[in-house]
């Protein structure tokens, strides 16, 4: 995962995370997931962590419909490191991207990073653009309410400060303040806002200086 231009954010002075500012300017991008597929059903791939409710195994699945735990993982390694047959018939139902937009984000290992997002209503998507290149992003696997908190936490788990457009509009939801991750999300969101404010202040001072220089040249008759 990218860690360029990093700064540490603390939670209760106990947990220190190095996060990147790389995506603080990111904005959501519209997409029609159906139209993005070609005649072969290719065009994007999703990676979603789904926990089996029967046995607790976590699978990373694409949006290919309902399946079972044993079908997706016929064998697994037990606590002793031995390969054992998986006989669990627990139902797995990956949602895939549900909303007609995604948030750009760089991801290292799709499988490992997806497992780290388990419990959040998101999946990682790898999208083929019209140019033939690919872009990785975050898509929601659910909707119906403002999921800005969850999107911010997703960016944090992936190693980034959340985008300003999310960090500056976190809704005041009482249940979030009781969440163990709430303080970390708020701290990271505050740092995003601070970084944008600092950059805006520098740009403002630079433009004011240039305006004064221009006015002085006009007054001196150097330019009309």
Partners of 50 in the beta sheet?
59
Boundaries of every domain in the chain: 6-196
Q: What is the pLDDT of residues 199-209, one digit of tens each?
A: 988 777 888 87
User: Does residue 119 surpass a pLDDT of 70?
Assistant: yes
pLDDT tens column, 68-97:
999 998 988 888 888 989 999 999 999 999
**110, pLDDT greater than 60:** yes
User: How far is residue 137's CA from residue 106's CA, in Å, rounded to a whole number?
Assistant: 7
pTM of this structure: 0.83
CA-to-CA distance for 88 and 69, rounded, in angstroms? 6
DSSP letter string, 132-177: S-EEEEEEES--SS--HHHHHHHHHHTTBPPPHHHHTT----GGGG
Give the mean pLDDT of the chain: 86
């Amino acid at each position: 995962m990218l860690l360029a231009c990093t700064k540490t954010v603390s939670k209760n002075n106990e947990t220190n995370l190095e996060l990147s500012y790389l995506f603080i300017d990111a904005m959501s991008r519209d997409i029609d997931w159906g139209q993005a597929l070609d005649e072969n059903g290719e065009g994007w791939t999703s990676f979603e962590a789904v926990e089996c409710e029967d046995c607790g195994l976590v699978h990373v699945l694409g949006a290919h419909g309902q399946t079972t735990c044993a079908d997706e993982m016929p064998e697994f390694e037990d606590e002793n490191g031995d390969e054992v047959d998986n006989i669990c018939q627990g139902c797995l139902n990956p949602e895939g991207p549900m909303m007609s937009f995604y948030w750009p984000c760089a991801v290292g290992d799709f499988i490992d990073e997806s497992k780290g997002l388990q419990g959040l209503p998101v999946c990682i998507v790898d999208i083929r653009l019209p140019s033939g290149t690919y872009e990785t992003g975050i898509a929601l696997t659910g909707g119906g309410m403002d999921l800005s908190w969850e999107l911010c936490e997703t960016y944090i788990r992936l190693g980034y400060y959340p985008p300003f457009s999310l960090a500056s509009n976190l809704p005041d939801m009482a249940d979030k303040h009781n969440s163990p991750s709430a303080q970390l999300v708020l701290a990271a969101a505050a740092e995003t806002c601070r970084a944008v404010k600092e950059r805006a202040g520098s740009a403002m001072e630079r433009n004011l200086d240039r305006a004064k220089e221009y006015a002085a040249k006009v007054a001196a008759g150097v330019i009309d």
